[in-house]
Amino acid sequence: MKFGVVVFPGSNCDHDAFHAIGHVLQKPVEFIWHQSEDLQNSDVLLLPGGFSYGDYLRTGAIARFSPVMNAISKFAKDGGLVLGVCNGFQILLEAGLLPGAMMRNSGLRFICRHVHVRVEDTNSPFTNAAQKGQILKLPIAHSDGNYNCDPDTLAELEKNHQVLFRYTTPDGNDDTTGNPNGSMNNIAGICNRERNVAGLMPHPERAVESALNSEDGLVILGSMVEALVGAAKATA
Amino acid sequence: MATTLTEIKVTPEIAAEHGVTREEYARIQKILVRDPNITELGIFSVMWSEHCSYKSSKVHLKRLPTRGKLVVQGPGENAGVVDIGDGLVAAFKIESHNHPSYVEPFQGATTGVGGILRDIFTMGARPIAILDSLRFGEIVPGKNSAEPETAANRRILDGVIRGIAHYGNCFGVPTVGGEVAFEPCYCQNPLVNALALGIARKEDIFLAKAKGLGNPVIYVGAKTGRDGIHGASLLASAEFTEESQQKRPNVQVGDPFTEKLLLEACLEAMKTGAIVAIQDMGAAGLTCSTCEMASRGGTGIEIDLAKVPQRETGMSPYEIMLSESQERMLLVAQKGREQEVLEVFKKWGLDSTVVGEVTAGGLLVVKDHGKIVAQIPAHPLAEEGPVYNRPMTSPAPRVESDKDWFPFAPEKTDLTANFKKLLASPTIASKSWITEQYDTSVRTNTLAGPGASDAAVVRIKESEKDGPGGKTMRSLALSTDGNGRWCFLNPKVGAMHAVAEAARNVAASGARPIAATNCLNFGSPEKPEVMWQFSESIDGIGEASTALGTPITGGNVSFYNETLGKSIYPTPVIGILGILDDSSKVLKIAFRHEGDIIVLLNGANSSGAGQHATLPSARRREFSSSEYSKTIAGIVRGEPPSIELGAEKWLIDCLVALAAASTIESAHDLSDGGAAVALAESCFASPGAGLAPPLLGAAITLPENASAEYALFGESGARAIVSVSPRKLAALRATARQYGVGAHEIGKVTREDSLRIEYKGHTVVQSDVSALRDAWANSLERAVTGRNQ
């Protein structure tokens, strides 16, 4: 089992993801440079948060043209697991690996705080270790997390249970008071129809130790480990 | 234009336009043994500006204590460096970016943050935290501030916050603390002081000394443009007039993305072992970095400007040498190994090019396409600038009498409404609307972010692939503090309080204070009263730093903080760094358990609520300088509370010992707003990880002391409020006794949504905690955005 953490110029959560996987989960992990098309035999790819290329144009809009994205697209089409967090999610949207787009937060300001998200579906490699309806406390830190898509896409997402995480209040109400950024249907994270590519705005890698005020991120990262272990068993 | 500029004949009049006096001009002629050309004049004018040369402050700064057994590098390099154990060092420094932040708040603040971050990674340290100490004019219309003014201040605040957020968030270093205060005197001269902290292995620290004849001088980072020319000399070293908006072109523009690349590339290039010296190009850009590196190394440097990457064509030597374009570095590499260094920068997509070499003879030689355009001895330029012992005058004693001081309310008065008003005042109100715009958790080291503890606490990870490594359980704590109002009333005592409060805050997080950095914000040094304030403040900082064991490792002086002849309050801001040996023992301010006993610790070992002022009139005089007096009565007079450094030291040692032994559950020092505000904040912070009920309350009986207002809202130092489980109360008492600190039981943490404070048998404050919290939590956002009115 090997995790690859992709480093774009301007990625700034790459070390955090590396620490969470390598030192907290104690799984093999390597950085993958954006200029490389060699994914170094990774079994799962993590696109970390940050401001790739400064995000001066539109979040993720330039990073999607990095050479590594060709390899990642192919990897995803072949069923490989890909998780984009924050800027990584934005890049996956820009690359068309996930549907929809990000707009500026409804308050037009950067927001950094802990939010609560409800696990909407456990049938995915990113949520299989969670309980359905489980509330996770995770930090967000973004300017552009206001998820948007056309009505048909939204209907499809809901119908196919592609919404994996939804913002709620601490006790699980999804009446928009828990929604920090104006995101449609309180969407915090989605997966593709094949369920092997997912993105979310909150940062699971920042919630992996009690000293950091939450360990709930381990549910998501742990799900991926379990999925890989399961896959390895299935092929053995 | 380029040619006309070089052909300008330099005269003393042209020198005067550059801010160079006749005496300074004569000195330049003496050093050169001829008249300078225009480029040379430009170079001298920035290097000898107040901002770069410290010509008015040098004679006073010498009095600061700068040595200590943990100090690895004191003032004089890009940042101070202290030993933090386990083979690691911390580099930290605070700097001002006041004038640019008034002229162009967003860019002024971004480049302030960018500049201080570069100072840290120039030393080879990876930045791990940013703090910002901010002062603005009043943002709510009131007695001394009218609406057009407050609207302007809100706009400045908004721009500065967005600027700090923009740069720090993108760069990927958490902004974990600092302070924000409001006074009318900062109306047209906000203070934006940014502090950055980094860590490195002790042997990996880089200095800015150009060594090795023939070693190549390499320029890396962003291209040079026409921005920021004369930022240091004209913007930072002169007071504001009505035309100051015209100085907007002197403000630089920040690009945090390029800085992030520069950080990663510099740290990677340093690992090659091929770098000899490195310095960032901040104030005075290429001029400062070349002559300072040569001067420190006892060498010369020769560069050719034709090789400098430029953003636009047709720039004159004068402009290239004086540009303050951001995100640039100058480094010296080992001859023959320059390719290794250039490769790293190429990988990160940054310009890097050899622009010259280290030479013998101590001359800074600047060529343009091979033709010499400036030739100046580097050492006299960098180190032998003018030094002024400017005249000082203490101001005439203020004529104040009994009737001018704060009138205490009659006994039994219900103070709840005043308390609520105080909690909602911008200086005391929650700053979460601001701090939530900062990324506070990136790098996953933040154990206590803004407002969680009295100091910001960041851990050092046991291992990080490219980080310091080694086994360590340690954390670093940082606090910045300053009280302009107190320094205005008494610069020496006010400055001592700033040091004491910063140290106390660090100790209240459980960490041992070890070193300090300072940012000295003052008016014009050409005014004798301002120089007197400066000199007094230095004495106060020196005395307090010596007593508390926190040597000054660096910092910056910002003079000319005045507009239309009106100076700001003298505002020394102190940043103190502390070490917490065991990261699991961070103390936070939040009350944690129902039934815990609330104890007021007093280093002055008195009956509790402040012993210093004994005579009733002296208490009123002291109280007239408090936040309560200003907010409730509009009175700003008297004197700051007197300070006992011994008492401060005892309290600090006691808090550190209590934290190390895990005796107490929470700690919060008493500062703005006194005991009442500290108690309320400890209640407000109580909702933690989904605890029910969300808010804890407190039932308090304060010891008798002068008057209820004095007991509740008095701000005398050396005090903290802690909570302790009943079974550890005896241990707390024993520790307090050991350090000679008074420990007074004043109440209990309750499970009710209620804060009740009794004094002399009467309830003087009684309110739902949630109602108080609402006033405190939302007033800043309401004030700035006008929302939810």
> What is the pLDDT at residue B402?
83
In a domain, B750, yes or no: yes
One domain for residues B231 and B265? yes
Check if B268 contacts A (Cβ < 8 Å): no
- What's the angle, vertex CA A135, arms to CA B452 and CA A96, rounded to 5? 100
In a domain, B390, yes or no: no
Residue contacts between A and B (CB atoms, under 8 Å): 96
| Residue B548 or B467, more confident | B548
User: Who among B257, B467, B584 is closest to A51 (CB)?
Assistant: B257
Q: Cβ contact (<8 Å) for B439 and A211?
A: no
> What is the pLDDT at residue B691?
45
Residue B607 reports pLDDT greater than 80:
no
One domain for residues B354 and B278? yes
One domain for residues B751 and B664? yes
| Residue B254 or A142, more confident | A142
- Compute the mean pLDDT over every residue in chain B, rounded to the nearest whole number: 92
Residues in chain A with CB shorter than 8 Å from the CB of B461 are 19, 23
For residue B760, what pLDDT band results from cuts at 50, 70 and 90? very high
pLDDT tens for B432-458 read 999 999 999 999 999 999 999 999 999
In a domain, B64, yes or no: no
Q: Cβ contact (<8 Å) for A206 and B171?
A: no
Name the residue range of residue B288's domain.
207-385
Residues B569-597 have a mean pLDDT of: 96
> What is the pLDDT at residue B2?
41
Pair of tokens at residue B285: 């850009």
- Which one of B444, B475, B580, B787 would you mutate to disrupt binding with A, by most A Cβ within 10 Å of its Cβ? B444
Residue B393 reports pLDDT greater than 70:
yes
In a domain, B232, yes or no: yes
One domain for residues B645 and B534? no
How many structural domains does chain B have? 4
| Residue B473 or B190, more confident | B190
pLDDT tens for A137-147 read 999 999 999 99
For residue B243, what pLDDT band results from cuts at 50, 70 and 90? low
Residues A124-132 have a mean pLDDT of: 97
Domain ranges of chain A: 3-235
Residues B231-235 have a mean pLDDT of: 61
Q: Cβ contact (<8 Å) for A51 and B260?
A: yes
- B696 forms beta bridges with none
One domain for residues B409 and B466? no
One domain for residues B632 and B645? yes
User: Who among B348, B464, B583 is closest to A9 (CB)?
Assistant: B348
Share of chain B above pLDDT 70, in %: 93
- Which one of A15, A55, A86 would you mutate to disrupt binding with B, by most B Cβ within 10 Å of its Cβ? A15
Closest of B543, B542, B548 to residue B577, by C-alpha = B548
DSSP symbol at B629: I
Q: Cβ contact (<8 Å) for A12 and B438?
A: no
One domain for residues B222 and B348? yes
The Cα of A167 is separated from the nearest Cα of chain B by a number of Å equal to 16
pLDDT tens for A54-75 read 999 999 999 999 999 999 999 9
> What is the pLDDT at residue B249?
61
Residues in chain B with CB shorter than 8 Å from the CB of A18 are 465
Closest of B543, B524, B542 to residue B533, by C-alpha = B524
CB B475 within 8 A of CB A173: no
Share of chain B above pLDDT 90, in %: 84
> What is the pLDDT at residue B144?
75
Residues B610-622 have a mean pLDDT of: 73
Check if A54 contacts B (Cβ < 8 Å): yes
One domain for residues B215 and B174? no
- Compute the mean pLDDT over every residue in chain A, rounded to the nearest whole number: 96
Q: Cβ contact (<8 Å) for A10 and B257?
A: yes
Residue B226: count of CB within 10 angstroms of its CB? 18
How many angstroms separate the Cα of B419 from the Cα of each of B183, B627, B707?
19, 11, 15
pLDDT tens for B724-744 read 999 999 999 999 999 999 999
The Cα of A49 is separated from the nearest Cα of chain B by a number of Å equal to 9
> What is the pLDDT at residue B609?
44
pLDDT tens for B95-131 read 999 999 999 999 999 999 999 999 999 999 999 999 9
Q: Catalytic: B166?
A: no
Q: Which residues of A are catalytic?
A: 86, 203, 205
**Structural domain A3-235, CATH architecture:** 3-Layer(aba) Sandwich (3.40)
Closest of B119, B103, B327, B331 to residue B235, by C-alpha = B103
> What is the pLDDT at residue B236?
62
Report the CATH number that the domain containing residue B751 is assigned in CATH: 3.90.650.10
> What is the pLDDT at residue B464?
47
**Which residue reads 């600092």 in tokens?**
B178
Q: Cβ contact (<8 Å) for B439 and A18?
A: no
Q: Cβ contact (<8 Å) for A15 and B464?
A: yes
Residues in chain A with CB shorter than 8 Å from the CB of B463 are 23
In a domain, B59, yes or no: no
> What is the pLDDT at residue B734?
98
> What is the pLDDT at residue B690?
47
Residues B65-90 have a mean pLDDT of: 94
In a domain, B432, yes or no: no
**Terminal alpha carbon distance of chain B:** 55
Q: SS3 letters for B248-301?
A: HHHCCCCCHHHHHHHHHHHHHHHCCCCEEEEEECCCCHHHHHHHHHHHHHCCEE
DSSP symbol at B754: -
Alpha-carbon gap, residue B114 to B640, rounded angstroms: 35
Closest of B785, B179, B768 to residue B427, by C-alpha = B179
Residue B555 reports pLDDT greater than 90:
yes
Q: Cβ contact (<8 Å) for A212 and B444?
A: yes
> What is the pLDDT at residue B237?
65
Residues in chain A with CB shorter than 8 Å from the CB of B443 are 15-16
Domain finish residue from B568, B586, B604: B586
For residue B605, what pLDDT band results from cuts at 50, 70 and 90? confident
Q: Is B368 helix (H, G, I), strand (E, B) or coil?
A: strand
Check if A65 contacts B (Cβ < 8 Å): no
One domain for residues B231 and B362? yes
Residues B74-78 have a mean pLDDT of: 89
Pair of tokens at residue A26: 């104690």
Closest of B1, B475, B43, B569 to residue B286, by C-alpha = B43
For residue B465, what pLDDT band results from cuts at 50, 70 and 90? very low
Residue A184: count of CB within 10 angstroms of its CB? 17
Residues B242-269 have a mean pLDDT of: 82
Check if B748 contacts A (Cβ < 8 Å): no
Q: Cβ contact (<8 Å) for A13 and B462?
A: no
The helix or strand, by DSSP H or E, that contains position B119, with its residue range, turns out to be: helix B105-122
Alpha-carbon gap, residue B171 to B176, rounded angstroms: 14
Check if B446 contacts A (Cβ < 8 Å): yes
Options B18, B60, B97, B612, the catalytic residue: B97
> What is the pLDDT at residue B570?
98
One domain for residues B18 and B96? no
pLDDT tens for A81-121 read 999 999 999 999 999 999 999 999 999 999 999 999 999 99
One domain for residues B702 and B724? yes
Residue B704 reports pLDDT greater than 90:
no
For residue B466, what pLDDT band results from cuts at 50, 70 and 90? very low
| Residue B695 or B553, more confident | B553
User: Who among A53, A110, A209 is closest to B165 (CB)?
Assistant: A110
ipTM topping 0.90: yes
Q: Cβ contact (<8 Å) for A51 and B467?
A: no
One domain for residues B601 and B730? yes
In a domain, B391, yes or no: no
